[in-house]
Amino acid sequence: MLNKLLTLVLVREPSRVLLGLKKKGFGEGKWNGFGGKVEPGETILEGAKRELLEESGVVSNSLEEIGLLKFEFVGDPQILEVHVFTSNTFEGEIKESDGSTRIFLHFAEMRPQWFYTDKIPLHQMWADDKYWFPMFLKGSKFKGYFLFEGHEKIVKYQLDEVEKL
C-alpha cells in the first residue's frame, strides 16, 4: 500500500513557534503545526503552503523541508508519511483568537497561537513531538519512524538527526 502523504508546517520566530489547536478530525484537541493531506496534482511543497494558508491565514514563500516522519498505528497497514517544513517569514495576518475573529474561528479547523520555545505545550501534542521538537528548535534536520498503539502510546520508535533529508 502506498504511504499517505501529509505536510506539517512550523512557522517560527527566534523565540516563538506558531501552533494551532486542532478542533476536529484527526488529532482533535492537540496543538500541532499546520498541514494536511497532499492533494492529487500538487507537489508536497504546494500542499504545505496551501494548508498553512487555509489553517492559519498566512502565506510563506520560504518553506524549508526539515523533517521526514513516518507513523504506523498497530492494526492499520497505512503508513503516514509526514513532511515537516519550517518558515521564519510569512505574509498576511494570522487568524488569531481575539474578539473580532471569535465567530469566524468557531468554524475554523485550527486555532493559531504563538508559543515561546521554552513553553511548547508538549503534554497537549502528539507523543512523538517531544522527541523531535528539540531537534527542530535547535535547527537540525531529522528522520523518524514511530509505531503508535492508539493515539497516545508509542511502542517503538527510531529518530535520527540528519545532514540532509
Which residues are near ligand 6OG by CB under 6 A? 6-8, 25-27, 32, 35-37, 71, 80, 82, 126, 128-129, 148
Beta carbon nearer to ligand 6OG, 35 or 99 = 35
Minimum Å distance from CB 129 to ligand 6OG? 5
Q: Measure the CA–CA gap between 91 and 163, rounded to whole angstroms.
A: 29
Minimum Å distance from CB 116 to ligand 6OG? 19
- DSSP 8-state symbol, 100: G
Beta carbon nearer to ligand 6OG, 99 or 152 = 152
- Among all chains, which residue has been given the C-alpha cell 474561528? 105
Beta carbon nearer to ligand 6OG, 6 or 18 = 6
Pairing of strands 153-162, 16-22: unpaired
Short-list 121, 152, 111, 130, CA closest to 24: 111
